[in-house]
A = this chain, B = another copy of it.
């Protein structure tokens, strides 16, 4: 939030982004123009625009050429859907090379600008960090990847040779290189002259212009910070891009069950769901309704109901991962969604636990059952509560440890699921209650111990 606010006050984020979407994409061999090809629910152009917007860019130039009417129609849809400020620039000479697409904006653009290809897929963090770095730069910049062994399709990639951060040569056929061009630029207006010179020499490609800048030592290479990027210009690479985006959904703070079971299933569900017009908040509600249904089943005392309740609890737990996944895949994250999801999760846990407690009370008719139920509910909520409070008071992240992983929701619901299968639901919540309260006490002791031994 604060970062974007910063941009509003005139950081580099105030500079526009030029997105090249004029090429035919002949390597793709698809019937439709490349910018319109779908990847996990978004077209390549849509993803490029939203990635830039997330990095704080709010003004766009999209250069069209091949099948321009189709692309134009799509751009209009996107402008309406996301309320984006996009200017469409036609490049009738697109066949000559993508340098002409950059030249097409030269009349309209007098300020520095970001430049990227619509078919490059980035971990949004890469673009964000690049925009941040560019904020303080008055030269041309190119985002480069020095981890060459992770580059997909190295043969087709444009290689870069650097010296002290400055690019000294660039080209596909470069034998001696130490990085790879990622197709993400920060350009000063001098780029136009460089491309014009290259065109005069007979090379109408963008890289032709960059070569001239490199000869003059006028472009720097900025090492990418972030997890992945890919030039999705073939069907095979598009598949890899999908895989990279999906595997990026696994979070460091995921619990054990989440990491090794739930995410494997939920990302597969998200991969399908993201092609439909279903919002993350709707998925949050579906997961919550499933939990209510599970709670309803747990009220009963027969095994078959308890078993079904357990299964639906675990299904709800898996679906609960999908809202966040879809939100990230489709750039639909919102504070409201995250907030609602977290609070509804607590309510879902409470309802399931009340039902199990009630059913067991019907069987045992012992007041201790209620005490166990209340201990579980309290533990389930407070284990999460104390972490939030820690973050607010210390203004830093909660130091995640094994005890925390054991008291997370994924393991809690999995425990109830296993307890239901074994027909020991009360014992399951009793054990989970103990784990939760121990993890709370442990959290305080650890902090106290750390404070006293710092």
With a cutoff of 8 Å between Cβ atoms, the chain B residues found around residue A354 in the complex are 371, 374
Contacts of A370 in B (CB 8 A): 357, 361, 370, 373
Bound CA–CA A441/B34 (angstroms): 46
Q: Mark A391-413, 1 if CB is under 8 A from B, else 0.
A: 11111000000000000000000
Provided the pairs A347-B382, A374-B350, A378-B350 are in contact, do residues A339 and B388 lie with their beta carbons within 8 angstroms?
A: no
Answer yes or no: A447 CB below 8 A from chain B CBs.
yes
Residue A338, interface by CB 8 Å: yes
Assuming the contacts A338-B393, A339-B393, A389-B339, asked whether A382 and B346 have C-beta atoms less than 8 A apart, the reply is yes
Contacts of A392 in B (CB 8 A): 388, 391-392
Known contacts A394-B335, A395-B1: A343-B378 contact under CB 8 Å:
no
Q: Is the CB of B385 within 8 A of A346?
A: yes
Please provide the chain A residues from 125 to 184 with a CB less than 8 Å away from any CB of chain B in the complex: none
Which residue of chain B has its CB nearest to the CB of A450? B336
Please tell me if the beta carbons of A440 and B388 are within 8 angstroms of each other in the complex: no
Contact B386 A388 (CB under 8 A): no
Inter-chain contact B374/A339, CB cutoff 8 Å: no
Interface residues of A in 318-377 (CB under 8 A from B): 335-336, 338-340, 342-343, 346-347, 350, 354, 357-358, 361, 367, 370-371, 373-374, 377
- Chain B nearest Cβ from A346, distance in angstroms: 6
Most buried by B among A338, A377, A392: A392
The CA-CA distance from A377 to B342 in the complex, in Å, is 18
Minimal Cβ-Cβ distance residue in B for A354: B374
- Bound-state CA distance A451–B342 (Å) is 18
CB distance from A446 to the nearest CB of B (A): 11
On whether the beta carbons of A2 and B395 are closer than 8 Å, the reply is: yes
CB contact list, A64-118 vs B, under 8 A:
none
**Which residues of chain B are near A361, meaning CB under 8 Å?**
367, 370
Chain B residues whose C-beta falls within 8 Å of the C-beta of A1 in the assembled complex: 394-395
What CA separation (Å) do A343 and B389 show in the bound complex? 8
- A339 is contacted by which of B335, B336, B377, B394 (Cβ under 8 Å)? B394
Interface size, A (range): 35 or more
Contact of A381 among B2, B357, B382 (CB under 8 A): B382
The verdict on A448 contacting chain B, using a C-beta distance below 8 Å, is yes
Q: Does A444 lie at the interface of the complex (its beta carbon under 8 Å from any beta carbon of B)?
A: yes
Query: With a CB–CB cut-off of 8 A, which chain B residues contact A440?
Result: 343
Query: Is A385 a contact partner of B386 (Cβ separation < 8 A)?
Result: no
Whether B390 and A339, one on each chain, are in contact in the complex, defined by CB atoms closer than 8 angstroms, is yes
Q: Indicate if the CB atoms of B343 and A385 lie closer than 8 Å.
A: yes
Whether a CB of chain B sits under 8 angstroms from the CB of A43 is no
Instruction: Please give, as numbers and ranges, the residues of chain B lying within 8 Å of A279 by CB-CB distance.
Output: none
Minimum CB–CB distance for A377 against chain B, Å: 6
The smallest C-beta distance from A166 to any residue of chain B, in angstroms, reads 30
How distant is the Cα of A30 from the Cα of B348 in the complex, in angstroms?
Answer: 65
Contact call A389/B388, Cβ cutoff below 8 A = yes
A8 to chain B, nearest CB (A): 15
Q: A384 CA to B342 CA in the complex, in Å?
A: 13
How many angstroms between the C-alpha atoms of A419 and B227 in the bound complex? 58
User: When the two chains form the complex, which single residue of B346, B357, B373, B382 contacts A343, counting CB atoms closer than 8 Å?
Assistant: B382
Q: How far is the CA of A394 from the CA of B338 in the complex (A)?
A: 10
Closest residue to A381 on the B side, CB-wise? B381
Interface 1/0s, chain A 415-454, versus B by CB < 8 A?
Answer: 0000000000000000000000000100010011001000
Q: A386's contact among B343, B373, B444, by CB below 8 Å, is which?
A: B343
Nearest-neighbour CB distance to chain B for A247, whole angstroms, equals: 25
When chains A and B are docked, how far (Å) is the Cα of A381 from the Cα of B335? 21
Determine the chain B residues whose CB is within 8 A of the CB of A444 once the complex forms.
Answer: 340, 343
5 contacts between A and B (CB under 8 A): A346-B382, A357-B370, A358-B367, A378-B381, A388-B388
16 additional A-B pairs beyond A1-B394, A343-B389, A370-B373, beta carbons within 8 Å, are: A2-B395, A335-B393, A335-B395, A336-B447, A338-B393, A339-B393, A339-B447, A342-B393, A343-B386, A358-B367, A374-B377, A381-B382, A381-B385, A385-B388, A388-B389, A392-B392
